[in-house]
Amino acid sequence: MRRLLLPLALAASLSACGMQPLYSSGTQGAVATTLGDVTVAPIQGRAGWLVKNALDDRLDALGGGNSRFQLQVVLDDKITGFGLLANDQVTRERRTLRARYQLVEAATGEIVLDATAASDAGVDIVSSEYATIAAENRALENLSLEIADQIVTRLSLFAREVSQAQ
């Protein structure tokens, strides 16, 4: 009898955890429609181009079309060498991409969200300069996708908070 009651008690406790799906109601839900109303302003540099494209891919998929909000992003891309050999030759680099972003309501110009996102990646320095440059570029591509995911997740949480407040 106890073997039967324990799984039922665990299942009942899971239903009371308070978790709710972020994208409930699909593309017609409050979060998806709010994200669909976000346009991304141009972002400076190669990293900016990569982040903007990743953001556009994620936000444009939700439709919308209204430009209710504008997302402004400023990036800081740094490469720092570490892992020195005895002859002071760098053997490893850390590429860090940080983004400060603001969600601005287009009608009023009011900043409704001001936040940051950051990610980093390690790059090995090898004897081939081409391989090192290719690794640095690949790291930037991966970091851009990670930053875009972090921004969209934070925008989604913001949209849910706003929809619950109304």
Q: What is the pLDDT of residues 62-101, one digit of tens each?
A: 665 678 899 999 999 999 988 777 777 888 999 999 999 9
Residue 1 domain-assigned (yes or no):
no
Does residue 23 carry a pLDDT above 60?
A: no
Amino acid letter, 42: P
- What CATH number is attached to the domain comprising 58? 3.30.160.150
Domain count, the chain: 1
Residue 2 domain-assigned (yes or no):
no
| pLDDT tier for residue 123 given thresholds of 50, 70 and 90 | very high
Residue 7 domain-assigned (yes or no):
no
pTM: 0.81
Residue 15 domain-assigned (yes or no):
no
Percent helix, percent strand, percent coil in the chain, to nearest 5: 45, 30, 25
What residue numbers bound the domain in which 146 lies?
25-161
Beta strands across the sheet bearing 38-40: 38-40, 69-84, 90-105, 111-124
Q: Which pLDDT score, from 0 to 100, does residue 10 have?
A: 64
Query: In this predicted model, which residue has the larger pLDDT, 145 or 26?
Result: 145
Residue 41 domain-assigned (yes or no):
yes
Residue 20 domain-assigned (yes or no):
no
